[in-house]
Amino acid sequence: MEEFLIQYGYIAIFLAALVQGKSVALAAGMIAHHGEVDLVWAIVAVIAGSYVCDLMFFTAGRTLGPKLYEHRPRWKQRAERTHKLLLRDPLLLIMSYRLLPGVRFAAPAFIGATPFSAARFLILDFFSALIGMSILTLAGFGFGKVLVKFFANARDWEITIAIAIAVLAAVGIFLLERRHHRNFHQRAKTQSE
């Protein structure tokens, strides 16, 4: 992904942030650390991509309303939970959903399907994108500094161990997510029967 972001610059960062905000923010920060793009403009591109994505899903929810989930029981349950949280604490929901796995695209659509004020959503979501994506891009920038220092002073065997640990962690996370996803579907299937 980094090569794609470097080759096409801020447009690539914007377009990639439409689809995958968190990882793009981290990658944009790392390539900014390497000097391939300017950090401030990388942050702006990530914020803009993430925000536009949210607006598209919010608009889809506003346009489709409950039709969005009426034939999907699992989606309906999630929409109802989202609506309850929205009624209880809209600031918490809108400021945090972009950082939660599994709700990044669904939350703005479900919020759009409610009578929640569009103007209020636009304002809160803008600040959510501004804060969340700025922090993640700066974290990527800082992580780039750490990697440069580590690899500059590391011996070959230390690099190999670090890569092996990263691969094992990624595989472990993948397996845990897969297990969680399978268990979630089994519970949903038993509840609908």
Query: What is the Cα 14 distance to its own chain's centre?
Result: 13
174-193 per-position pLDDT tens digit = 777 777 667 655 665 665 55
For the stretch 64-116, pLDDT in tens is 888 877 777 777 777 777 788 788 888 888 888 887 776 777 888 888 888 88
For the chain, the helix, strand and coil percentages under 3-state DSSP, each to the nearest 5: 85, 0, 15
Q: How far is C-alpha 118 from the geometric centre of its chain's CA atoms?
A: 21
Model pLDDT for residues 1-36, shown as the tens digit of each residue: 556 666 778 888 899 888 887 888 888 888 888 888
Domain positions in the chain: 2-153, 154-193
State the burial class of residue 16 (Cβ atoms within 10 Å of its Cβ: 0-12, 13-18, 19+). buried
